[in-house]
Amino acid sequence: MKNRSLAKDAAVISILVILAIASRLLPHAPGFVAVTGATMFAGWYLRRGSVAYLVPLVVLSLSDIILGFYQPLLMSVVYMAAVAPVFAGRLLRGNATPLRLVTSALCCSVLSLLVINFGVWLTSAWYPKTATGLLDCYVAALPFFKYRLAGDLSSVTAFFGVYALLTYRWPNLAADRPFGRRKLAAIR
């Protein structure tokens, strides 16, 4: 039973990583990727939090090998922001409802906007190191934020929705997960 559970976890991790990397590599609107959905689901689904926190780091590292690396300090800020959805997923364990999922996705999107663009302001020469420069950096990011928000909301909906449908159809898939049949009945 334990090996089967490990095999399921390995399969889920592989699927999440492949889909999130593909969303970064295939043509897409700026910021419309599935990284938040995959990492929030990993945090929620995987029992071992340490493994879940590796998912966004693996996704970003492997896709950045192809896309190209950039300024190391900014990269570390982006990578740190990418683990926040895992924490949100961990908080949702046993309490995942559609409203909480949407709220968590929104919070992750806003946090990402604030953290990453602070990093851009801090590490680039594009903006003066003043309050006005920081505000200009955030204002410049707003047109792209709608894509980030749409990507985060749709990927969270997709990952959790597909899981809910699969476990509704095949309840034994959810036997040892925090999203049991009772929780599924609550979100139908």
Q: Are 73 and 119 in contact (CB under 8 A)?
A: yes
Using CB atoms within 10 A of its CB, is residue 143 exposed (0-12), middle (13-18) or buried (19+)?
exposed
- How far apart CA 127 and CA 130 sit, in angstroms, is 8
Distances (CA, A) of 57 to 52, 93, 104: 10, 21, 20
- How far apart CA 124 and CA 121 sit, in angstroms, is 6
Boundaries of every domain in the chain: 2-187
* pLDDT tens-digit map of 68-78: 999 999 999 99
* pLDDT tens-digit map of 121-161: 999 999 999 999 999 999 999 999 999 999 999 999 999 99
Query: pTM of the predicted model, to two decimals?
Result: 0.88
Q: 2-187 — its CATH code?
A: 1.10.1760
Is the torsion defined by CA of 8, 20, 150, 75 positive or negative? positive
* pLDDT tens-digit map of 21-42: 999 999 999 999 999 999 999 9
